[in-house]
Structure 1
Amino acid sequence: MTALEPFGARLRRAMDERGPLSVGIDPHASLLAEWGLNDDVAGLERFSRTVVEAVAGRVAVLKPQSAFFERFGARGLAVLEKAVEEARAAGALVVMDAKRGDIGSTMAAYAEAFLHQGAPLFSDALTVSPYLGYGSLKPAVDLARESGAGLFVLALTSNPEGGEVQHAVRPGDRTVGATMLAHLAAENAGQEPLGSFGAVVGATLGDLSSYDLDMGGPLLAPGIGAQGATPADLPRVFGKAVHNVVPNVSRGVLRHGPDIVALRDAAERFAEEIRAAVAAG
């Protein structure tokens, strides 16, 4: 296997050229209905292809949520495979939002499914859960390095329930979330212009100045749009790390479908607003 250029370097270039925006591909039943599509494989395929056609050639990142494809079984996964292939062919980086996390050979198998270049679902990066212990992610870390892919580790998520784990204080007065950020800083040490091992940090969390978010890697930031955060909030939330933030917008863009031009225009508006907010920060 010939490794790709490291994910962090590819992401930095894509963000600089296309703007720092990730668009989610979240074909849940209510959104399919809003588009006038049936909640079946045909609707799933039409939805996915429309989003890819509209924005994959223009945004830095597309982030499919695998669960919405998995619920249709093998045929849904076939649609996901095609969406990944077509998005990457159009120049977007694909972050697979699968939030995998396990131990040993099972974690290695998850890594093979999404991070091995020969896999049908090979993606540029994968979201992972470290809450069986950060060390449980080692098979994914190792394969990501080998293939030139990346990881986004759940650290400070936007869901209210996350706080009971992520803000829990460990011995030494460091929270669990801060511990994950420290692990990622170690993974990214010496990597320029951007490390390949990032964190998921919610844009809705408010002041995070007590956390060292400048850990050398990207920050995938859900919460812009329907969850209430705006591009203007980014400098306040992320401070000096704002230049490494990849805000994700899903419904804020997807609600404009199935019109391709409207989807594209919405994505471009968000990208410009985010670019301006980052520059101001």
Structure 2
Amino acid sequence: MHFADLINESVDTKQSVLCLGLDPHWDRIPDFLKEDCTPDEAILKFLIPIIDACEPHIACVKPQIAFFEQFGSIGFSAFEKVCMYAKSKQLPVIVDAKRGDIGSTAEAYAEAFLGKNRPYDALTVNPYMGEDTLIPFVKKANENGKGIFVLVKTSNPGSGDIQDLPIGDELVCEKIARMVSRLGLDNLNTNQYSNIGAVVGATYPEELSLLRRDMPSQIFLIPGYGAQGGEANDLRSAFYEDGKGALVNSSRGILFAFEDAKEPENFALHAGEAARKAKEDLNFFA
């Protein structure tokens, strides 16, 4: 199946464009889950019930690999188990690892995350070493029905330090957007969506609109909604009339919704309710 078909089928099934970010900040995981167990076990006890509670309301999941890797091999084992569990729930898995390197190193990264039998469907990649460093990821994704999301305009406050620098008559982010659009032309589905997507932050709505014009075939992965300040009304320009074209990520606002209620014992219940509310907030896209 084409990666864009996988995503759009999930959006249709769930009537949701919500992507659940799996960022298990260790200091914010309820203390009772950490008692008498190793970090990997605590992470699983936290994330598996959250996936169950949120599953009816989300189109996919996006685990941030750093929160697992910090615990070494046991952390990576937990990462793989979380990904396989999400896949068992028919949820596409987008690995947020922001990989990027030259030649054979990029090929190794691509095989690790986009290989045929890996329990992942897509990977975020960093384009700032040049177009040649993206080619191994594009090739591997095309071979195996996977996707990549290239960092174009990120949601962090300092993104403009580099991404908004002028190059001739365009900005760095616009130049990258045109490159992403071109790289994606070789693998379009029947609805003209590419498997080569773009990361564009919710915190920059004006740029979001401009970059959509530069990347008409790309599925946007939109971080920055919710906890980072991005609002649903700012995201309309990323979507097409069919309700497709983008996935909106929410991580902390869902995972740690229990903090506002001061009910850590009901962390999964509060996560599910937060996911339901976020889905409804974004429902005018469906």
Question: Residue 171 of structure 2 corresponds to which residue in structure 1?
Answer: 175
User: How do 1:11-26 and structure 2 match up within 5 A?
Assistant: 11-18=7-14, 19-26=16-23
Give the stretch that moved more between structures: 212-221 or 257-266: 257-266
Question: Residue 226 of structure 2 corresponds to which residue in structure 1?
Answer: 225
Question: Residue 154 of structure 2 corresponds to which residue in structure 1?
Answer: 157
1:60 to partner: Cα distance: 0.9
* Paired residue secondary structure (1:233): helix
1:240 to partner: Cα distance: 5.5
Distance (Å, rounded) in 1 between the aligned partners of 2:256 and 2:32? 12
Structure 1 residues 231 and 210: alpha-carbon distance in aligned structure 2, compared to 1, 3 A threshold: closer
* Paired residue secondary structure (1:216): coil
Q: Which structure 1 residue ranges, 5 or more long, are not aligned? A: none
Question: Residue 269 of structure 2 corresponds to which residue in structure 1?
Answer: 261
Question: Residue 261 of structure 2 corresponds to which residue in structure 1?
Answer: none
Question: Residue 70 of structure 1 corresponds to which residue in structure 2?
Answer: 69
Please say if residues 184 and 215 of structure 1, whose CA atoms lie closer than 8 Å, have aligned partners that are also in contact.
Answer: no
Give the stretch that moved more between structures: 256-265 or 224-233: 256-265
* Amino acid in structure 1 at the alignment position of 2:2: P
Distance (Å, rounded) in 1 between the aligned partners of 2:136 and 2:156? 27
Distance (Å, rounded) in 2 between the aligned partners of 1:112 and 1:239? 31
Normalising by structure 1, we get a TM-score of 0.88
Please say if residues 57 and 91 of structure 1, whose CA atoms lie closer than 8 Å, have aligned partners that are also in contact.
Answer: no
CA root-mean-square deviation: 2.1
Question: Residue 273 of structure 1 corresponds to which residue in structure 2?
Answer: 281
Question: Residue 190 of structure 2 corresponds to which residue in structure 1?
Answer: 192
Give the stretch that moved more between structures: 49-58 or 152-161: 49-58
Question: Residue 238 of structure 1 corresponds to which residue in structure 2?
Answer: 238
1:251 aligns with 2:252: yes
Q: Which structure 2 residue ranges, 5 or more long, are not aligned? A: 259-265
Distance (Å, rounded) in 1 between the aligned partners of 2:245 and 2:210? 18
- After superposition, give the CA deviation of every residue in 1:109-138 in whole Å (9 maximum; x if it has no partner): 11111100234xx31100000000122111
1:31 to partner: Cα distance: 1.9
* Amino acid in structure 2 at the alignment position of 1:188: G
1:8 to partner: Cα distance: 0.9
* Amino acid in structure 1 at the alignment position of 2:124: T
Q: Matched residues, percent identical?
A: 35
1:163 to partner: Cα distance: 1.2
1:145 to partner: Cα distance: 0.4
Distance (Å, rounded) in 2 between the aligned partners of 1:131 and 1:69? 25
1:166 to partner: Cα distance: 1.1
Structure 1 residues 60 and 239: alpha-carbon distance in aligned structure 2, compared to 1, 3 A threshold: closer
Report how many aligned residue pairs link the two structures: 269
Distance (Å, rounded) in 2 between the aligned partners of 1:12 and 1:180? 24
Distance (Å, rounded) in 2 between the aligned partners of 1:109 and 1:134? 17
Please say if residues 53 and 268 of structure 2, whose CA atoms lie closer than 8 Å, have aligned partners that are also in contact.
Answer: yes
* Paired residue secondary structure (2:43): helix
Question: Residue 80 of structure 2 corresponds to which residue in structure 1?
Answer: 81
1:61 to partner: Cα distance: 0.8
Distance (Å, rounded) in 1 between the aligned partners of 2:250 and 2:214? 20
Question: Residue 53 of structure 1 corresponds to which residue in structure 2?
Answer: 52
Normalising by structure 2, we get a TM-score of 0.87
Distance (Å, rounded) in 2 between the aligned partners of 1:150 and 1:106? 19
Give the stretch that moved more between structures: 207-216 or 71-80: 207-216
Give the stretch that moved more between structures: 48-57 or 139-148: 48-57
Please say if residues 93 and 124 of structure 1, whose CA atoms lie closer than 8 Å, have aligned partners that are also in contact.
Answer: yes
Distance (Å, rounded) in 1 between the aligned partners of 2:23 and 2:210? 32
* Paired residue secondary structure (1:97): strand
Question: Residue 117 of structure 2 corresponds to which residue in structure 1?
Answer: 118
1:271 to partner: Cα distance: 1.2
